[in-house]
């Protein structure tokens, strides 16, 4: 059996490789879908919410999830979902103890005027 050297023509190593002096690129095409339409199953995977929860938000009267209905298929654009869910963003944790104390103070206030003054004091920071 012969080796690779034996099968190459003589003088093969003596020839320099061909050079490309001016490469011409006629067309570059890149297709990336940055804002796709997602089915409820796809949106559930993207958002971490269940399909059942998403359906409940579709029917929400105060803040419905924007969608497109094509025949029987429900589609949601990813960018519209991102804007919609941003309204639910919370910053920090609510101080539950402070909220409970305020409610107890308001309920146990002797007269409505006193409760109004206590609420006003809380708003003023005192």
Last residue of a domain, one of 54, 71, 86: 86
Report H helices in 48-109: 51-58, 78-86, 96-108
Is residue 66 domain-shared with residue 98, that is, in the same domain? Answer: no
Q: Is 56 inside a domain boundary?
A: yes
Is residue 81 domain-shared with residue 113, that is, in the same domain? Answer: no
Q: Is 107 inside a domain boundary?
A: yes
Provide the number of structural domains found in the chain.
2
Q: Which residues contact 68 (CB under 8 A, 6 or more apart)?
A: 37, 74, 75, 76, 77
Is residue 96 domain-shared with residue 81, that is, in the same domain? Answer: no
Res 34: pLDDT: 83
For 115, the domain range is: 92-126
Res 122: pLDDT: 66
- Please identify every stretch of the chain with a pLDDT value under 70, giving residue numbers as ranges: 1-18, 20, 33, 110-120, 122-126
CATH number of the CATH domain containing 58: 3.90.105
Q: Is 24 inside a domain boundary?
A: no
Is residue 106 domain-shared with residue 71, that is, in the same domain? Answer: no
Is 38 in a helix, a strand, or coil?
A: strand
Q: Which residues of 99-121 are buried (b: 16+ CB within 10 A; e: fewer)?
A: eeeeeeeeeeeeeeeeeeeeeee
Is residue 82 domain-shared with residue 106, that is, in the same domain? Answer: no
Is residue 96 domain-shared with residue 82, that is, in the same domain? Answer: no
Rounded CA separation 50/75 (Å): 15
């Amino acid at each position: 059996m012969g080796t690779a050297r034996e099968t190459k023509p003589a003088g093969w190593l003596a020839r320099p490789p061909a050079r490309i002096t001016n490469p011409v690129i006629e067309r570059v095409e890149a297709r990336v879908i940055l804002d796709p339409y997602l089915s409820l199953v796809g949106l559930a995977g993207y958002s971490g919410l269940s399909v059942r929860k998403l359906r409940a938000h579709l029917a929400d009267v105060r803040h419905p999830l924007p969608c497109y209905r094509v025949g029987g298929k429900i589609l949601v654009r990813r960018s519209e979902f991102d804007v919609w869910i941003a309204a639910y963003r919370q910053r920090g944790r609510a101080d539950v103890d402070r909220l409970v104390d305020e409610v107890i103070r308001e309920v146990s206030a002797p007269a409505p005027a006193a409760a109004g003054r206590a609420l006003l004091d809380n708003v003023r920071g005192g």
